[in-house]
């Protein structure tokens, strides 16, 4: 099980604008500290922590942050509409389009996804794979 994912950022305020445009809508709460941004899903007292957490932090070695070639973090949305709405919000918050929302036949009939780059260049996917939704609506 993946416990957390961390991406580097040189400009934490730009990263905050980008990630708070969609992560809270997916249930993530934000904690800010001297080491950057920590996004976590809520858990009830006495329950296990809901994983994974997502962190946006300056680099540990002090060198400029860079996006991983071939690395991507995907966040699951409930519906195709939510994918479209959050993709648009992330673009408005400083993200770059890397693939408009839509079905990707190679990934199955119900896989609806959009791709973005955060202000640092990290690749992010927002997807829904809800078989209860109507067919291809794009």
Give CA–CA dist 8/122, Å, rounded: 8
Domain 4-59+66-128 bears CATH identifier 3.10.180.10: yes
Residue 43, CA distances (Å) to 3, 6, 31 in order: 14, 20, 15
In the chain, DSSP finds a helix count (H) and a strand count (E) of 2, 8
Cβ distance 75 to 52 under 8 Å?
A: no
Whole-number pLDDT of residue 8: 96
Owner of token pair 């993709």: 87
- Banded pLDDT at 136 (limits 50, 70, 90): low
Q: What confidence score (pLDDT) does residue 69 get?
A: 87
Q: pLDDT (tens digit, 9 = 90+) per residue, 46-75?
A: 998 889 999 999 999 999 999 988 999 999
36 band by pLDDT with thresholds 50, 70 and 90: very high
5-28, pLDDT tens digit by residue? 999 999 999 999 999 999 999 999
Q: Does the structure show a pLDDT above 50 at 137?
A: no
Q: Which of 121, 124, 29 shows the shortest CA–CA distance to 74? A: 124
Residue 124 has a pLDDT of: 98
Ordered by start, the domain boundaries in the chain are 4-59+66-128
Using pLDDT thresholds of 50, 70 and 90, give the confidence band for residue 138.
Answer: very low
**Do 40 and 48 form a contact (C-beta atoms < 8 A)?**
no
Q: How confident is the model at residue 133, as a pLDDT?
A: 87
Q: How far, CA to CA in Å, does 52 sit from each of 41, 64, 84, 92, 122? A: 8, 25, 23, 26, 18
State the average pLDDT over residues 115-131. Answer: 96
Helix%, strand%, coil% for the chain, nearest 5: 20, 35, 50
């Amino acid at each position: 099980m993946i416990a957390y994912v961390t991406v580097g950022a040189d400009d934490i305020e730009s990263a905050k604008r980008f990630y708070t445009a969609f992560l809270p809508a997916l249930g993530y709460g934000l904690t800010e500290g001297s080491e950057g941004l920590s996004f976590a899903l809520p858990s009830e007292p006495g329950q296990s922590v809901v994983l994974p957490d997502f962190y946006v932090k300056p680099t540990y070695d002090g060198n400029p942050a860079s996006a991983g070639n071939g690395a991507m973090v995907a966040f699951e949305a409930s519906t195709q509409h939510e994918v479209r709405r959050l993709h648009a919000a992330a673009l408005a918050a400083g993200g770059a389009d890397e693939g408009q929302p839509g079905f990707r036949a190679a990934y199955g009939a119900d896989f609806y996804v959009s791709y973005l780059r955060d202000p640092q260049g990290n690749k992010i996917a927002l997807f829904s794979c809800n078989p209860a939704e109507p067919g291809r609506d794009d």
